[in-house]
Chain A
Amino acid sequence: MKSLQKESTRLGWAAFFMVLMAFMVTRPMFAQNAAPADPMKAIVDNSSAMRIGIDTVWVLVTAMLVFWMNAGFALVESGLCQAKNCTNILAKNFIVFAASTISFWVLGWGLMFGDGNGFIGLNGLWLVSGTDNSPALGEAYAAMNPFSTVKYEGVYSAINWTPVPLWAKFFFQLVFAGTAATIVSGAVAERIKFGAFLIFSFLLVAFIYPVTGHWIWGGGFLGSNNFRDFAGSSVVHSVGGWAALAGVIALGPRLGKYGKDGKINAIPGHSMTSAALGVLVLWLGWFGFNPGSTMSAGNGTAIAHILVNTNMAAATGALGALLTAWILLKKPDLSMILNGCLAGLVAITAPCAFVSIGSGAIIGLFGGALVVLAVLMFDRLKLDDPVGALSVHLVNGIWGTLALGLFYDNQVSTDIAALATGLTRSQQFMVQLKGVFWVGLFAFTASMVFWYLLKLTMGIRVSVDEEMEGLDVGEHGNRAYPDFVITGTTTISESRI
């Protein structure tokens, strides 16, 4: 999605000056070479290559920032779990990107971006092997690279609006798919079989993520009916959240989390240092996630607006959670503040290019408050989520998608996202609501089917003894901290089921 500019005048001037400069720089060369065929063509081609180079660097560097979010998730999730399960969580978060890479390459990309019908991609399905002459642009997007003279021909036309090569598009989309898969890891932590998680990750990135992704970003029925999601509150975060929710239901809570008398026992995470650093890594990574989703460096105003909106919501999200926790729980619990920052980031991911900065601040603040309430709510419902992934990614993915409608600004949407719908806020809200419904229905149902298939075949939960002992030794044969004496939480042993 994004950036189909209407700034041809400005681009025209830019083009003029670039051609002029390129001409001045290259003139001596032409003077020496005998009779160049067409100097103007050479200059235009050079300028086109330069433009493609700049855009490609932007897309790949921001993709690398998003890749690095894997490190953030690994730190957050391992920090918020017990020391006896630390190796297991790190192993899951590490291998999930490897699984995503293969899955998205083999099938995910094709299902998501291949030309097809409103529901799935059908062309160029396997191994990103369809015809494609990227970085050539689609008819409607010539302004994205005014020097390019070649028109797009290929089977991935839903993403022919960005002037970068196919593999840059692939890598950028891959790191997003990987993010969705890594969300599941934290919610199902401390009790899931490593093998079952690995297989589910393959399935999620090969089938579930790309289907809903096709609906929104791949030319499917939601995106073409005015549903908007700039960088993936729905596409990435709520899809990961729905898959996680299905996993949490299929698995059941950790031993001792909910007492027989209805008491909710805390199972404290083992390293707040790790969790806090992880969130800082994620906060940085989000500066790739949202601003990078322009997939072009051509519109500086858009990038700056999106980046500041992203930062604003992260800041107000942290503050919103801090205030809510302080008032409701009497203390500003750090783990809640960390969740609040992430909640703000998830919530602003869809609307960052469609709403004003002020709206972004409100969206984040509300997201931060929401995440604290959601953590308490999921515990009441006995849905055990050790790291708050459901509250952060599912609840705030939905909130952000709806907030795009509530705070929709047609001027911002024209200038920044270049994807204005012209609808009123209430109309846009209804469109967003329908999208949330369809994405939720499919992602949750499909995830449930996969989780139960795994449960009935290989089993998804480790044995009671292994869970008590820790998954580090049970699943991987060694401990994260072999040289330290670690004392287990006392609350767990009392209610061994």
Chain B
Amino acid sequence: MLSFQRSQKMVVHSLGRQIDIIGVACSVLHPEIELLQAKGEIAFPVEYLDSRLHMKPELLEKALRERCDDILRSGVGVVLLYGDCHARMHHLCVNPQIARLDGLNCGDILLGRQRYKELMKQGAFLVFPEWAQRWRVILNELVNICGSCGLDIVHDTHDKLVYLDTGAVPVPEMELDECASTLGFSWVNMPVSLKHFHSLIQDAVTRLQTMPGETEIEEA
């Protein structure tokens, strides 16, 4: 659990407070977050952790915990721009000063639940703008694509490559061609609006601001 020490002083709960917020995000969402910030739709600063931490969930858990602890010590709330990305994510979010986006993973966060599930049932392998440029490294870490069964694993569970074109970066066609060719799939470009992502962020901010807060009053 988080080392979030409660004060020994009397605690009074209050609603509707304004608090400072720092976002902690997976770098896979970096281009989209920067785009929303540039449009003025995200008004708080965001720090990033490397998306490759997903390959080692225990390291992701440790990095998130340490970063949240540091931020919470300064009395600032945390919006976690993450899905349910490791098995103990919910432990972190027990703390009312932390609000995570209501999404399963980055695909669900960008696409919305229904569209995400439809694509998964069609056997889509989702490619995100941030890691399209380094697809070979990602796939090697994910399923050892250069190993003897990496391709088999991908083929047993996927039929096609779908690039999520959020408009945050130009479509990396050359990299997608190479990736598709390596996997033996064709790829399709899927335009994705950031409206759903933005609404999840707004929901998380609202939750932080309406959670019972703590106003400390000296005990008599």
A joins B in a complex? no
Residues on B lying within 8 angstroms of A by beta carbon are none
Residues on A lying within 8 angstroms of B by beta carbon are none
